[in-house]
Amino acid sequence: MIQEPRVGVFICHCGHNIAAKVDVKQVADYAKTLPNVIVSHHYVFMCSTVGQELIREEIKKHNLNRVVVAACSPSMHEPTFRTAIESAGLNKYLLEMANIREHCSWAHSDKEAATEKAKDLVRMAVAKASLLEPLEEEEFPVSPTVLVLGGGVAGMRAAIDLAEWGFNVYLVEKNPTLGGRAALTGWLTNNRRGADVVNNLINKIVDNKNIHVFTNAELVEFSGFPGNFKAKIKVNPRFVNEKCILCGECEIECPIEVSNEYQYGLSRRKAIFFPFKAAYPPIYVIDQRVCIKCGECVKACQYGAINLAEQSLTLDLNVGAIVIATGYDPYHPPKGEYAYGLHNNIITLFQLERLLDEDGPTQGKLIIGGAVPKRIAFILCVGSRNTTPSSKNYCSRMCCTSTLINAIKIKEKYPDIDVYVLYQDINTYGNDETLYEQAGEKLVKFIKFEKPPTVDISPEGIVIDVYETTIQEEISIPVDALVLSVGMVPRRDQNELIATTRASCGEDGFIREVHLKLNPVEAPTHGIFLAGAVTGPKNIIESIRAGSAAASKVATLLSEGKVRTEPFTANVNEERCSGCRICVGLCPYKAISLREINDRMVAYVERALCMGCGTCSAACPSGAMQQYGFKDIQIMAQVVAATGGGIK
Amino acid sequence: MSTNNYEPRIVVFACNWCSYAAIDLAGTSRKLYPPNVRVIRVMCSGRVDPQFVLEAFKNGADGVIVAGCRPPSDCHYINGNIKALRRFTLFKRLLEELGIEKERFRLEWISAAEADKWVRVVNEMLEELRRLGPLKAEAVSV
Amino acid sequence: MNNRPKVAFYWCASCGGCEEAVVDLAEKIIDVVSLVDIVFWPVAMDYKLSDVEALPDNSITVSFINGGIRLSEHEKVVRLLRQKSKLVVAYGACACWGGIPGLANQYSREEILERVYLTTPTTANPEKIMPPQDGYAKLGDVKIEVPTFLPELKPLDEVIDVDYYIPGCPPTPEVTWNAINVLLSGKLPDKGTVIGASNRSLCDECPLNKTKPENVLIKEFKRVVNYSPRADTCLLAQGLPCLGPVTRGGCGALCVKANMPCTGCFGPLENIHDYGGKALSFLASILDYENEEEIKREISKLPDVSGLIYKYTLPKSLLKNLLRSVRK
């Protein structure tokens, strides 16, 4: 299979960069003495046109089948020399570089010692080169279709960007409407509301024929590899079709009433309902979890829009990439944390946002427990920064800003209400820092704590006791209403998503990006991208940005029409493999599975998923799994050569 | 060879993405260090099979370094560094049982920016190896 | 004499189990005996060394030698057998890689003798009588030649040239029978081959392999001294450090069928350079912790790592020449 190695060694002076500290002629002469070396040359700049031509000529002249270039770091010119040997008819992976510049001439002062080291590095490279095999990159065509999971702001933004580039987008939302939590977010800065942002995005989606929206739908199966994933989508029945004109007659007749999650439980809704004013699609929906199928709504509907016999349907999609933008859950304080659940006037920030929103249950009036409070307090970092035993240790980023926006809103609407904000730190970063000043101007009272305050319920009402660290005094604040500024936590159903998509979560429990700085919005599995608060707390702007970022990453992957894999993948010798499964659980990319060959289960590497780390090869107890380009025998040969091969 | 001019030899397995790049950076920024190290590039510290390290010792390496990305999450391949951590934590225990000085093997986390750390690790290890002398008892008597 | 193949059996540093294994061929041994002439078998037949010395060179068709080389006598006899034999087969784990007695290579000869003759709890040796190390002992007035204890235990192939290997502690009757058939078939495999056993690791033939989950990750290394494994689930998946994945198959998973994890007596597959190093690599890889302290904590519960991963192969470890030299 492998030809008798005929190695050519080419040693670069790099001007004086190498030649000043390494006796290049001596190294070239030494190289000639090594096994399998046919020719050896040194030249002032190997990467120059002339240098590359020298390599090409020598390959042809001496019928070389392996090339060692001793020059700079492979990160510098490996691609250059690969191209050079390829143009001389060799497979470009029959090149091995010896790094005698960064690792040698630039790092050592003694010329004799540096020369000796350079010889060793060349010997190591020749040892490996003699065992190199031709490798092929594999190419796969890609499906120009993208699955976006989650119809919140991040998912919608990603879908719009991708559709505008011409990709076919399936936007799949678990709930009956697009919009996500941003639609319920109430006031943002600049007197805009979350619903306005959501409306704007929905309008763009409705107008775009490349986007196919599926609400009440979820991903149930996912397999394949980048460019060619197979996704099975289950679309749950809505029971109401496009004939619905939102007249609302059905809702009046419906006998079932439940807490309205679209108002965070501040109001009630029927089993047949319309989530909120800007909901899309603009059709009523029946909540099948609570509907008793009494048929009253069907009788009430004059348009024949309701069909209680509707069944779920499944869609099989072939998609090139997937964007996961499934968002977050608000932190839900356990009963008793800051007296939550013990008094009706203790609410969360998410509920307050609904109260102050003109589309909310009180049409924007701050009515808590039947009256407008005279004194209202916010406690920050609820559920965040280890303030209580059930808190997370991270900062949720948006709660400070959101608290101040709402505190200011209260002061604008009701200047006489006393507003207290109890905080550890105010993290209104960036432009939102002005909110802190505005709140001060509006006489919002800031109370700093280190030890979280205690909240007591007395017959007179709610009393907050706190040690104020600025004035260094224990103070007691009686209030009529208390808002807990809760943070963001991973979605409750996230584990199902992880199981289906092979995404993984980080220490904070959110879905993990490969690298925050080097590979943001990329999941460890190639072809899966992440947008919005699914990777951790984000505000609306940041989520939208992440949506755009994910879209551009998808476009980078799919725009060429094909994906090419690095050849340094793992490969199983199926004859040797005993199907012991050790490799399967170790693969960070779930690229390895078992498959049956001749009645035996053996490991199988999905090359398109394999990223080439080699951890399976290091563990394979049979030596059956080997990484191309980094096989055991190749590395062992380098080890032996590095130690002098016994000729110390 | 007398112990006076004994020059220890260190074999290094360096992750392509972090430690190998840090060693490049040490060169690029002309941070000088002794030439006793021989670096073998692997794509990930998770590729390093303990057999390679044993082979290095067998062939006369006085010390071995496996260098990868800082745990838990700097690994280019998600968690190859964690696999290395698991293997070489057990490996250190083995060396201890077999009577091989713990100073002869190091698992180091060196990010692409930590050229200084690389230089420090090499110098520290060389100092320790000079103190210990060659791993091969035979070499002492020659 | 007739033209039947001549066969010799010899034991070196071994427990006798390999000899038992030959007898365990049961009625098949009669087939074997009818096909061959046994010319030397100290444990079973009364031939003398001088009988072997009297044979012409290369006249023994095959010598099966079990046990590691630990005494000067072993060296002497196996060299003689090599001279007289066409084929030499290392029979059993000790002859192949040193086996359990090879674990003593972690200690010097002096340490071992002191331990065995003076300090074990069951030793009563008030006069501190030690075996002579000059090769002679006095029996009354007679000076007799006795073997000396070598500095370390060596696998057979480090003393003489070995043609084939039959693994196991001991090799099972099936493996022995398979190997004999290979040798009698006339179609001899490449020199250096392991014969009679499988070319895949034990998992391939283990009845519990199909019960192993796809993700084999464990939270602790359990021990059979304090954990009774369920018989219906892969022992490794249950946390027992079963070495089946790294061990050559062929035994039919006897230990696993008896609810005991594989300890590796069939040794490594051919492309493994160091059995223990590879065993260490896969075992550590599946220890499901990400944090160094937790990993150390679990590892600290292993009483004897070298004994676990090199139970049969320490004298073949890549570190074999470094063991004594660094031991204080």
Chain B within 8 Å of C50 (Cβ-Cβ)?
no
Quick one: CATH architecture of A237-311? 2-Layer Sandwich (3.30)
Q: What element of type H or E holds C309?
A: helix C305-309
How does DSSP assign A312-377, residue by residue? -EEEEEEESEEEE----EE--PPTTGGGTTSSTTEEEHHHHHHHHSTTSTTTT---BTTB--SEEE
* pLDDT of amino acid C76: 97
Instruction: List every span in chain A annotated with CATH 3.50.50.60.
Output: 145-235+312-328+491-557, 331-489
* pLDDT of amino acid B139: 35
Chain B within 8 Å of A112 (Cβ-Cβ)?
no
* pLDDT of amino acid C198: 97
Chain C within 8 Å of B16 (Cβ-Cβ)?
no
| Interface test mutation site (partner A, options C285, C287, C289, max chain A beta carbons within 10 A) | C285
CB contact under 8 A, B99 and C327: yes
Three-class SS state of C10: strand
Q: Name the one residue in this structure whose structure tokens are 């460019």.
A: A227
Q: Which two tokens stand for residue C269?
A: 């597959």
From CA C197, how far away is CA A124, in angstroms rounded? 37
CB contact under 8 A, A576 and C282: no
Residues of chain A numbered 590-629 and touching chain C (CB < 8 Å)? 593-594, 600-601, 615, 618-623
CB contact under 8 A, B59 and A106: no
Chain A positions touching B43 (Cβ under 8 A) are: 568, 612-614, 627, 630
Can you name the CATH fold of C6-100+152-184?
Rossmann fold (3.40.50)
From CA A450, how far away is CA A578, in angstroms rounded? 59
* pLDDT of amino acid C238: 96
Least confident span in A587-596, B37-46, C26-35, C227-236: C26-35
Least confident span in A158-162, A518-522, C41-45, C67-71: A518-522
Find how far residue A163's CA is from the centre of its chain. 20
Segment C142-161 shows an average pLDDT of 95
Tens of pLDDT, residue by residue over A346-361, are 999 999 999 999 999 9
CATH code: domain A7-135 is: 3.40.50
Tens of pLDDT, residue by residue over A486-516, are 999 999 999 888 878 867 777 788 998 877 7
| Interface test mutation site (partner B, options A21, A103, A568, A636, max chain B beta carbons within 10 A) | A103
Whether B136 has a pLDDT exceeding 80, the answer reads no
C4 against A246, higher pLDDT: A246
Distance between B109 CA and the closest CA of chain C, angstroms: 13
CB contact under 8 A, A588 and B77: yes
Name the CA dihedral angle for C271, C272, C273, C275, rounded to a multiple of 10 degrees. Answer: -160
Tens of pLDDT, residue by residue over C276-312, are 999 999 999 999 999 999 999 999 999 999 999 999 9
Out of B57, B72, B135, name the one closest to residue C290 (CB).
Answer: B72
Q: What is the largest CA-CA distance in chain C?
A: 71
Query: Do residues B37 and B136 touch, judged by C-beta distance below 8 A?
Result: no
Q: What element of type H or E holds A19?
A: helix A16-19
Q: Please name the residue of chain B whose CA is at the shortest distance from the CA of residue A120.
A: B38
What are the sequence ranges of the domains in chain C? 6-100+152-184, 108-151, 202-326
Give the length of chain C: 328
Low-confidence stretches of chain A (pLDDT < 50) are 646-648
Distance between A603 CA and the closest CA of chain B, angstroms: 18
Chain B within 8 Å of C219 (Cβ-Cβ)?
no
Q: How many cross-chain Cβ pairs, A to C, lie less than 8 Å apart? A: 84
Percent of chain B with pLDDT over 90: 79
Chain B within 8 Å of A77 (Cβ-Cβ)?
no
Q: Count other C-beta atoms under 10 Å from residue C309's C-beta.
A: 28
User: Partners for A (CB, 8 Å, 3+ pairs)?
Assistant: B, C
Distance between C28 CA and the closest CA of chain A, angstroms: 30
Distance between A579 CA and the closest CA of chain B, angstroms: 20
CB contact under 8 A, A632 and C271: yes
* pLDDT of amino acid C195: 97
Out of A74, A105, A613, name the one closest to residue B46 (CB).
Answer: A613
Percent of chain A with pLDDT over 90: 88
Instruction: List every span in chain A annotated with CATH 3.30.70.20.
Output: 237-311, 564-628
Q: Which of C187, C35, C25, C185 is nearest to C91 (CA)?
A: C25
| Interface test mutation site (partner C, options B49, B98, B132, max chain C beta carbons within 10 A) | B98
Distance between C47 CA and the closest CA of chain A, angstroms: 43
Within A451-539, residue ranges assigned H as helices are: 494-501
- DSSP state, C116? I
Instruction: List every span in chain A annotated with CATH 3.40.50.
Output: 7-135
* pLDDT of amino acid C24: 87
Q: Please name the residue of chain C whose CA is at the shortest distance from the CA of residue A602.
A: C204
Q: Which residues of C touch A (CB under 8 A)?
A: 199-204, 209-210, 212-217, 244-246, 249, 269, 271-273, 278-279, 281-282, 285-286
CB contact under 8 A, A575 and C201: no
Q: Count other C-beta atoms under 10 Å from residue A589's C-beta.
A: 21
Distances in Å between the Cα of B24 and the Cα atoms of A104, A128, B45 are 9, 20, 17
Three-class SS state of A464: strand
Residues 6+ apart with CB under 8 A from A523: A324, A501, A503, A504, A511, A512, A513, A514, A529, A530
From CA B73, how far away is CA A515, in angstroms rounded? 8
CB contact under 8 A, A615 and B49: no
A498: β partners: none
Q: ipTM of the predicted structure?
A: 0.95
| Interface test mutation site (partner C, options B49, B69, B86, max chain C beta carbons within 10 A) | B86
Chain A within 8 Å of B61 (Cβ-Cβ)?
yes
Helical packing angle, C275-285 and B80-98, nearest 10°: 130
Can you name the CATH fold of A564-628?
Alpha-Beta Plaits (3.30.70)
> Could you give all domains of chain B from N- to C-terminal order, each with its CATH number?
10-136 (3.40.50)
* pLDDT of amino acid A191: 87
Distance between A590 CA and the closest CA of chain C, angstroms: 10
* pLDDT of amino acid A403: 97
Tens of pLDDT, residue by residue over C125-134, are 999 999 988 8
CATH code: domain A145-235+312-328+491-557 is: 3.50.50.60
From CA A560, how far away is CA A254, in angstroms rounded? 53
Distance between A637 CA and the closest CA of chain C, angstroms: 12
* Overall pTM surpassing 0.80 (yes/no): no
Q: Which two tokens stand for residue A620?
A: 């394979």
Can you name the CATH fold of A331-489?
FAD/NAD(P)-binding domain (3.50.50)
* pLDDT of amino acid C1: 53
Q: Count other C-beta atoms under 10 Å from residue A276's C-beta.
A: 19
